[in-house]
């Protein structure tokens, strides 16, 4: 096998239930999820437990990418990389927003590229910290499994009015398994129901004694909303960083880690990377996983062009020929040819791996299905806006499998839903799940013709709930979306006191004054909201039908660009039938 096989694939190869594999990992003190990619030693250990031997075919590839050793005098101090982790809704992003706002140039609302979960922050005294925001991100686990050891310090955010939640515990386990110093931020202490001592007690029960209670873990009571004590929290983080004495050599070819990747129709594949050592420059030949290319352009997290990026700094890179997976390592190579050879070899190994882990039907399997009776399979194709979301969604969906209904993810990728996805779904009787993406115009027409079910979601829990409900037999959702109009933006006008007005052509359907709308750019949803006004020439109108032009503006949203698609939709309530 190749290195970094997922838990699910390993179980298939050894022909054992994946639950057995996960429980074995738990006994070994490893917390793994079904899609998590494992490193070489863990796999060797697990295979040994079940009486298998592992042979790795990617060893010569690892050797092909040489990393030069650093001399002591070449090393320069670098900023610490801090990951903010914690339970949903405990104030991770709020904390980051406050820290970024206290920086003078903390990018305007439209200025921050949406999914670059990495921010470089300059403090008043000139010191720098790089923050990683992990949206309860399963891809974070993959990064750790890849030995990327991307984080130097973890801030665990716990809400003082809530408590230590399962996801908080998971975050603490991840951080301590990676051997990363932890600083606890006890948030929301401005609330009347806040009880920080309860949190400290819960942490003490998990053997994490905070300094106030005589332990070794730093903690700080903060309020991310009002900015209370955030300076003190950053002081504690910098203190931990000083103890680590972080250094890197900036004068060598860059190496680092992929944080996120997505497909942008105008710019091609965009990859958010975090440079670990060396300096990445425009024009370098870069290889990440099984993708490679010349670095055509780089942007910082505020969308400004940069020419070079030093150690511990995030950047958005254009120019790769594909979307590498979150957690892949990247290297800068000498020549095109060398990069291409290694990338092709890696892609070939991945394909071989894929073929080996496809489950073909066996006699035993047929016997098992007959014994169960009504065995069913549900094939799903997952498309999302960024790699991390695709990984997290596929992971959560696979976990829904039951003995009666097997759920298979036959294809997952980044980008809008294309015609080839529809054809694949037609060939394999699959459902397409889109997360924050839309089908292209032709794909939608083809899907109607082939009668393929496309489900579009923007909240991960909705997707999981609805598919679980479908598996339990309650097929139709309560509220169904019906697309009533598709408009193309042809021209943009800036009008004082109104904002941006878009001159649109109605391609199909009929748009009315109170239709809810979405703005779609290159197949990816960037805003959902209501119409501010709808006009034909100078008159306000109630509706505009297909084939006509109209002017409209969207309430609270001005970032419209030419050739965006405005989609009008209505929510229709459907009676549930069993």
Give the pLDDT score at 35. Answer: 74
Give the pLDDT score at 318. Answer: 92
Spatial distance between the Cα atoms of 353 and 1, rounded to a whole number of angstroms: 7
Any domain includes 66: no
* DSSP single-letter state for residue 17: -
Any domain includes 215: yes
Q: How confident is the model at residue 33 (pLDDT cuts 50, 70, 90)?
A: confident
Residue 458 near residue 524 (C-beta atoms within 8 A): no
Q: Are residues 99 and 234 in the same domain?
A: yes
Q: 343: helix, coil or strand?
A: helix
Spatial distance between the Cα atoms of 465 and 64, rounded to a whole number of angstroms: 45
Q: Widest CA span of the chain, in angstroms?
A: 78
Rounded (5°) CA angle 425-521-324:
60
Any domain includes 64: no
Give the residue among 133, 142, 52, 61 at the shortest CA–CA distance from 97: 133
Spatial distance between the Cα atoms of 222 and 184, rounded to a whole number of angstroms: 10
Q: Are residues 87 and 52 in the same domain?
A: no
Give the pLDDT score at 107. Answer: 38
Full DSSP string of 56-74? -S-HHHHHHS--PPPPGGG
Q: Are residues 159 and 187 in the same domain?
A: yes
Any domain includes 31: yes
Task: Evaluate if residue 283 carries a pLDDT over 80.
Answer: yes
Q: List the structure tokens of 354.
A: 């894929």
Give the pLDDT score at 486. Answer: 93
Report, as an integer, the average pLDDT of 226-241.
Answer: 86
Read off the CATH number of the domain in which 424 is found: 3.40.50.10050
- C-alpha separations of 255 from 66, 159, 285, 360, 400 in Å: 11, 36, 12, 39, 38
Give the pLDDT score at 375. Answer: 66
Give the pLDDT score at 112. Answer: 33
Task: Give the domain extent around 453.
Answer: 363-475
Q: Are residues 490 and 446 in the same domain?
A: no
More confident residue, 51 or 1: 51
Any domain includes 436: yes
Give the residue among 490, 497, 565, 508 at the shortest CA–CA distance from 533: 497
- 128-137, 169-178, 384-393, 486-495: least confident range: 128-137
Read off the CATH number of the domain in which 329 is found: 2.40.30.10
Any domain includes 555: yes
Residue 95 near residue 230 (C-beta atoms within 8 A): yes
More confident residue, 355 or 515: 515
More confident residue, 57 or 20: 20
Which helix (H) or strand (E) is 49 found in, with range? helix 40-49
More confident residue, 115 or 194: 194
Q: Are residues 89 and 232 in the same domain?
A: yes
Q: What is the pTM (predicted TM-score) of this model? A: 0.65
Q: Are residues 240 and 109 in the same domain?
A: yes
* DSSP single-letter state for residue 174: H
Last residue of a domain, one of 216, 245, 274: 245
Give the pLDDT score at 346. Answer: 81
Give the pLDDT score at 362. Answer: 62
Task: Evaluate if residue 211 carries a pLDDT over 70.
Answer: yes
Count of domains in the chain?
5
Q: Are residues 206 and 158 in the same domain?
A: yes
Q: Are residues 92 and 217 in the same domain?
A: yes
Task: Evaluate if residue 108 carries a pLDDT over 80.
Answer: no
Which helix (H) or strand (E) is 132 found in, with range? strand 128-133
Give the pLDDT score at 466. Answer: 84
Last residue of a domain, one of 294, 322, 351: 351
Q: Are residues 42 and 89 in the same domain?
A: no
How, if at all, do strands 153-159 and 81-86 pair? parallel
Any domain includes 36: yes
Last residue of a domain, one of 184, 211, 245: 245
Q: Are residues 269 and 344 in the same domain?
A: yes
Task: Evaluate if residue 516 carries a pLDDT over 80.
Answer: yes
Task: Evaluate if residue 251 carries a pLDDT over 90.
Answer: no
For 134-161, the pLDDT digits (tens) are 655 444 555 454 434 677 888 888 888 8
CB atoms within 10 A of CB 425: 24
Q: List the structure tokens of 427.
A: 């060939």
Q: Are residues 347 and 486 in the same domain?
A: no
Top mean pLDDT of 56-60, 71-75, 266-270 is at 266-270
CB atoms within 10 A of CB 246: 17
Rounded (5°) CA angle 293-295-297:
140
Residue matched to tokens 């298998």: 52
Q: Are residues 38 and 84 in the same domain?
A: no
Read off the CATH number of the domain in which 168 is found: 3.40.50.300
How many percent of the chain have pLDDT more than 90? Answer: 12
Any domain includes 536: yes
């Amino acid at each position: 096998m190749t290195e970094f096989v997922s838990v699910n694939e390993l179980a298939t190869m050894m022909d054992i239930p994946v639950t057995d594999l996960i429980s074995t990992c738990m006994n070994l003190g490893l917390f793994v999820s079904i899609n998590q990619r494992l490193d070489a030693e863990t796999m060797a250990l697990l295979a040994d437990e079940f009486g298998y031997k592992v042979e790795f075919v990617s060893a010569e590839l690892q050797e092909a990418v040489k990393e030069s050793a650093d001399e002591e005098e070449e090393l320069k101090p670098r900023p610490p990389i801090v990951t903010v982790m914690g339970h949903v809704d405990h104030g991770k992003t709020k904390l980051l927003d406050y820290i970024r706002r206290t920086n003078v140039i903390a990018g305007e609302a439209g200025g921050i590229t949406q999914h670059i979960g990495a921010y470089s922050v300059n403090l008043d005294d000139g010191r720098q910290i790089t923050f990683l925001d992990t949206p309860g991100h399963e891809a974070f686990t993959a990064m750790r499994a890849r030995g990327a050891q991307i984080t130097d310090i973890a801030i665990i955010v716990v809400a003082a009015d809530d408590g230590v939640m399962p996801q908080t515990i998971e975050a603490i386990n991840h951080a301590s398994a990676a051997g990363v110093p932890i600083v606890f931020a006890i948030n929301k202490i401005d609330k009347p129901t806040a009880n920080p001592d309860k949190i400290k007690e819960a942490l003490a029960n998990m053997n994490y004694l905070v300094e106030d209670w005589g332990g070794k873990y730093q903690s700080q009571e903060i309020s991310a909303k009002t900015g209370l004590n955030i300076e003190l929290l950053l002081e504690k983080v910098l203190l931990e960083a000083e103890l680590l004495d972080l250094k890197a050599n900036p004068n060598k070819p860059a190496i680092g880690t992929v944080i996120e990747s997505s497909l942008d129709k105008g710019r091609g594949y965009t990859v958010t990377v975090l440079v670990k050592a060396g300096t990445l420059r425009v024009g370098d030949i870069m290889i990440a996983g099984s993708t490679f290319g010349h670095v055509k352009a780089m942007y910082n997290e505020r969308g400004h062009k940069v020419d070079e990026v030093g150690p511990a700094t995030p950047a958005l890179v254009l120019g790769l020929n594909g979307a590498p997976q979150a957690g892949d390592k990247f290297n800068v190579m000498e020549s095109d040819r060398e990069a291409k050879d290694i990338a092709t070899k890696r892609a070939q190994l991945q394909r071989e791996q894929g073929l080996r882990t496809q489950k073909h039907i066996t006699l035993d399997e047929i016997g098992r299905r007959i014994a169960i009776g009504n065995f069913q399979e549900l094939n799903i194709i997952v498309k999302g806006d960024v790699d991390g979301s695709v990984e997290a969604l596929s992971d959560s969906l696979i976990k829904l499998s039951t003995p009666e209904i097997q759920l298979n993810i036959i294809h997952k990728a980044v980008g809008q839903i294309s015609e080839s996805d529809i054809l694949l779904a037609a060939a394999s009787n699959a459902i397409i799940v889109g997360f924050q993406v839309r089908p292209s115009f032709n794909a939608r027409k083809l899907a109607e013709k082939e009668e393929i079910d496309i489900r579009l979601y923007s909240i991960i829990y909705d997707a999981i709930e609805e598919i679980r409900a479908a598996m339990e037999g309650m097929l139709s959702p309560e509220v169904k979306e019906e697309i009533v109009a598709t408009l193309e933006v042809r021209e943009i006008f800036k009008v004082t006191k109104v904002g941006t007005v878009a001159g649109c052509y109605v391609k199909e359907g009929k748009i009315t004054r109170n239709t809810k709308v979405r703005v779609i750019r290159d197949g990816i949803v960037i805003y959902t909201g209501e119409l501010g006004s709808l006009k034909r020439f100078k008159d306000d109108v109630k509706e505009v039908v297909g084939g006509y032009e109209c002017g409209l503006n969207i309430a609270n949203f001005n970032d419209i660009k030419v050739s965006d698609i405005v989609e009008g939709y209505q929510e229709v309530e459907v009676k549930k039938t069993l």
